[in-house]
Each structure stands twice: as C-alpha cells, then as structure tokens.
C-alpha cells in the first residue's frame, strides 16, 4: 500500500473515532439528564407523600385529642350532675331531720340525731348515689309519718311495758340512723377508686399516648424518670448474682403500677391470642403446641382467678405473646421490662432493699 493510501486510511479511522467519541458524549449527557429528571420526580413524589403523611398524622393526633377532651368534658358534666343530685337529696335528708327533730325530742330520742355525721362523703363510684339517697329519704319519710302514732303508743304503754317501749324506740331510731349512714357504705372503696383515677389522670396528662391502655384495659402507669441508680446488692447482702453493686443509667420510661390482672389478661384469651402464631416466638409456639396450652396454668383456680388479682401461672412465652398482642392492639411499644428497669422501678434510686424501705 502506498503512503498516500495509508494517510487516507489513518484520516478515515480518526474521523470514525471522533464520531464515536462524540456519540458517546451525547449519550452520557442524555443519560445524566434522564437521571436528574427521574431523581427530581422521585424527590417531588417523596416530599408530597411525606407532607400527606404528616398532615394525616396531625389530623389523627388532633382527632384523638378532641375525643379525649370531649370524653373528659362529658365525664365532668356527669360528675357535676351526680354531685348536684346528691346535694339535692342531702338537702331533703336534712329537711327530714328537721321535721323529725321535734317528734324525736318529744319521744326522748334526741340523742339519736346527735350521733349522726354532719356531712356525707362524695358520691361513690360503684353505687348510684341518687337511688341510695332516694331510698333512704323514703325510709325517713315513712318513719316521720308514723312517728305520732308511735309516740301515742309509747305514752299509753310507758308505765305498763317499759321493755316493749325500748324496743319500739330502738326500731324507730334505726330507720333514721340507716338514713344517714347509707352513703358511708363502701367509703374505703371510694378512696381507693379516687387514688386510681388520680394516677390515671396524671399518666394521661404527661403521656396521652397511654390512653388506649388506660381506658380500654384499665391499666395504671407511673413514670420512671431517666437517670442512674445502684443495681445489685452490697457485698454483705444478696446472692452472688447480685454482686458487685454498680451504677446503671437508664432512659425514662412508663411502667405498670401493678402486675397485669386477670381482668386485663382476659381480652387476650377472648381474642384468640393463644391461636395466633404471629404473636409467639418460635420456641414459645412449639412449647404451646406440645403442651396444648390455651390459658394460664391457674386460670381455673378460684383461689387465684379473681378479676383484680394478678394473673399467675404465666410462662415467659405467654407474657411475650401478651405484650405483642397489646402492642398490636394499641400501636404502642409495649414490652416486658428489662431486669434493670424492673429493679429501678421497684427499689428506687436511693438504694433501698425493698420498695417500702429497708
């Protein structure tokens, strides 16, 4: 091949190379443009999705807060109505006392009124104060109406039958005493219920998210603040697995005020929790199937199955399944406490041996 031909061939190859290079550059530019366009579209879609999700969450939170306020307002109105009704009935009782006082004084029974309490306690949570007081007022009214006849009978028989007079006097007085004592029945239960409501109200104020656990399952929670505590026992006390005593720092958390009760565990059984594989660990499900477990070991034992008693005879597998079920039902992070969380909640931060002190 002659030299001119070689030069011509080299020129042709160079031209082809330049064309291919230009085409490659153009392809890369187009690919980068498409990539940027796709990323922009994805970012826009993601931003729009996030905004929608945030708006939905804000609406859900607002609706939940509105429902909570409405429920609390309704409860306040109901409580006010009960208190007003109780006050009206109490006024009727006191009016009955005033009407009965002259008759009792005439019959020599003034000391019975002197023994009655000055005021009644607030309405009890487990009884209908209106019905109880109305019934008592009816008893007092009947007693007052029959009082003149009783007094006449007493005057006629005072000298002839002292023993019978005393019996009639006692019976007449008992009706009035019952009238004033009726609302005192169960007063300790009312005090306990008031403490429970105070604990629940405090938890709801500080952590509204606990509302499903408190209102649906009747659970009570206390807050354990973040901070350090001394875990374990001093060298001269406790077992080997409690040494050495050391400082542990924990984040804040909420823990049940009491153990889970039979009444709080019952919905898990009723909802078929023992038949739902997804709630159990692998070993737990194998254990449940091998032993055909359908409820806690002592569930049918009358000694342990009262509604307010702690549920007993529950294995670790059952406890884990129960907390997973609660988490699914409420959307909250419900779990068993760790050893450190349990010990801090039980012993406090001042190193006491028992929750109530040393």
Work out the angle at residue 241's Cα, subtended by the Cα atoms of residues 238 and 243, and round it to the nearest 5 degrees: 65
Q: Which of 186, 184, 154, 175 is nearest to 97 (CA)?
A: 175
Q: Which of 178, 167, 187 is nearest to 96 (CA)?
A: 178
Q: Is a pLDDT exceeding 70 seen at residue 189?
A: no
Is residue 215 within a helix (H) or strand (E), and if so which, with residue range? none
Q: Is a pLDDT exceeding 60 seen at residue 195?
A: no
The span from the CA of 325 to the CA of 335, in Å, is: 10
Contacts of 337 (CB under 8 A, 6+ apart): 253, 255, 345
* Region of poorest pLDDT, from 119-128, 136-145, 180-189, 238-247: 180-189
Whole-structure pTM value: 0.46
Intra-chain end-to-end CA distance of the chain, in Å? 110
Q: Is a pLDDT exceeding 90 seen at residue 309?
A: yes
Supply the pLDDT for residue 314: 96
Q: Ramachandran region of residue 186, left (φ > 0), alpha (ψ -120 to 50) or beta?
A: left
The span from the CA of 343 to the CA of 340, in Å, is: 5
Q: Which residues of 162-193 are buried (b: 16+ CB within 10 A; e: fewer)?
A: eeebeebbeebbebbeebbebbeeeeeebeee
The span from the CA of 335 to the CA of 256, in Å, is: 11
Higher model confidence: residue 182 or residue 355?
Answer: 355
Supply the pLDDT for residue 163: 38
């Amino acid at each position: 091949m002659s030299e001119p031909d070689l030069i011509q061939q080299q020129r042709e190859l160079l031209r082809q190379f330049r064309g291919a290079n230009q085409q490659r550059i153009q392809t890369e530019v187009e690919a980068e443009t498409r990539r940027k366009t796709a990323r922009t579209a994805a970012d826009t879609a993601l931003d729009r999705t996030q905004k929608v999700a945030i708006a939905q969450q804000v609406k859900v939170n607002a609706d939940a807060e509105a429902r909570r306020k409405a429920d609390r307002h309704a409860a306040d109105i109901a409580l006010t109505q009960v208190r007003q009704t109780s006050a009206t009935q109490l006024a009727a009782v006191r009016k009955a006392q005033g009407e009965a006082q002259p008759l009792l004084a005439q019959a020599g029974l003034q000391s019975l009124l002197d023994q009655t309490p000055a005021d009644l306690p607030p309405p009890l949570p487990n009884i209908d104060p209106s019905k109880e007081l109305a019934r008592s007022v009816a008893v007092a009214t009947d007693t007052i109406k029959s009082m003149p006849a009783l007094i006449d009978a007493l005057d006629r028989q005072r000298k002839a039958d002292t023993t019978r007079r005393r019996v009639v006097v006692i019976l007449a007085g008992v009706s009035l005493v019952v009238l004033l004592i009726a609302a005192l029945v169960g007063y300790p239960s009312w005090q306990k219920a008031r403490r429970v409501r105070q604990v629940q109200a405090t938890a709801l104020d500080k952590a509204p998210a606990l509302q499903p656990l408190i209102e649906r399952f009747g659970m009570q929670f206390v807050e354990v603040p973040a901070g350090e505590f001394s875990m374990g026992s001093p060298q001269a006390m406790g077992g080997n697995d409690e040494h050495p005593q050391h400082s542990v720092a924990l984040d804040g958390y909420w823990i049940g005020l009491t153990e889970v009760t039979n009444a709080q565990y019952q919905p898990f059984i009723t909802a078929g929790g023992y038949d739902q594989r997804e709630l159990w660990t692998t070993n737990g499900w194998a254990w449940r199937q091998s032993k055909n477990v359908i409820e806690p070991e002592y569930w049918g034992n009358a000694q342990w199955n009262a509604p307010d008693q702690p549920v007993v005879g529950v294995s670790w597998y059952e406890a884990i399944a129960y907390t997973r079920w609660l988490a699914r039902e409420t959307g909250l992070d419900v779990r068993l406490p760790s050893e450190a969380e349990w010990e801090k909640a039980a012993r406090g931060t001042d190193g006491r041996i028992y929750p109530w002190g040393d």
